[in-house]
Structure 1
Amino acid sequence: MILYNETISIDNAVAEEWLQWMKEVHIPAVMGTGYFLGNQISRLLHEIANDGTTYAVQYTCRNLADLEEYQSEREGELEARHHNRYNGKYVIFRSMLEVVAKDVERED
C-alpha cells in the first residue's frame, strides 16, 4: 500500500475556512477520482511560531501505479483549484511512502 502525504502550512488568517473547504470540497473531489482507498487529516501539535497551522493530509492507495496515474491525469486540476483559492497563503511539501508494516504490536 502507498501513503501519499501532503504537509501543508496554512496562514492562520484562513486556516479554519481552509480546513472546512478541505473536508467539504477538496478531499471529496480527490476521493471521487477513484484512485484512493482512504484519507485522513492530522494537525501538527507543536507548531513553530510562523503565523501558520500545519496539517498532514494523507491518502492511501493500492499501489504506486495508481498514484502515478492520479498525479499525471487528475492532480493538476485539483491542485490548481487549491492554489487559486489560497495563493500566497500556504506552503506545501509532498511525499510518497510505502507502507511496510501496519498495526504492529509489542510482544512482552
Structure 2
Amino acid sequence: MILYNVTVNVEDSIHKDWLNWMKETHIPDVMKTGMFKENKILKLLSKLPEEQGTTYAIQYFCNSLEDLENYQQNFAPKLQEDHVKRYGNKAIAFRTILEEV
C-alpha cells in the first residue's frame, strides 16, 4: 500500500472556506480519478507557539507506485492548479510518498 500525503498549512482568513472546498470539491475530484482506494483528512494538533494558521494532512491510499505515478502525470497538475488559483499562498502544501511496511 502506498500513501500519498499532502500536508497543507492554511491561513486563518480562509480556513473555513478551504476546509469546506477540500471536503466538498477537491478530495472528491481526486478520488474520481480512480487512482486511490481511500482517503483521510487529519488536523495537526501539536504546533509551536510561533506557528500561524492550521495544518492538515490529507492522506490518499493507493495500491501501487504505478497508480500514484499515473495520478501525478495525468491528474495532479490540473487539480493542484485549481488549488493554487483559489487560495494562492494562503494554503501552502508539500507532498510526501510513503510505503506501508
> Equivalent residue for 1:44?
44
2:24 equivalent to 1:57: no
In the alignment, the residues of structure 2 paired with residue 15 and residue 39 of structure 1 have an alpha-carbon distance, to the nearest angstrom, of 20
The structural deviation recorded for 1:51 is 2.5
Unaligned residue ranges in structure 1 (runs of 5+): 101-108
SS at match of 1:13: helix
In the alignment, the residues of structure 2 paired with residue 62 and residue 87 of structure 1 have an alpha-carbon distance, to the nearest angstrom, of 31
> Equivalent residue for 2:67?
66
In the alignment, the residues of structure 2 paired with residue 36 and residue 72 of structure 1 have an alpha-carbon distance, to the nearest angstrom, of 14
TM-score, normalised to structure 2, is 0.95
> Equivalent residue for 2:26?
26
In the alignment, the residues of structure 2 paired with residue 86 and residue 47 of structure 1 have an alpha-carbon distance, to the nearest angstrom, of 22
Aligned alpha-carbon RMSD (Å): 0.8
**Number of residue pairs matched by the alignment:** 100
Identity of aligned residues (%): 48
2:73 equivalent to 1:75: no
In structure 1, what residue type is equivalent to 2:90? Answer: K
Q: Which has the higher helix share?
A: 2
> Equivalent residue for 1:4?
4
In the alignment, the residues of structure 2 paired with residue 12 and residue 77 of structure 1 have an alpha-carbon distance, to the nearest angstrom, of 25
> Equivalent residue for 2:13?
13
Unaligned residue ranges in structure 2 (runs of 5+): none
In the alignment, the residues of structure 2 paired with residue 24 and residue 92 of structure 1 have an alpha-carbon distance, to the nearest angstrom, of 19
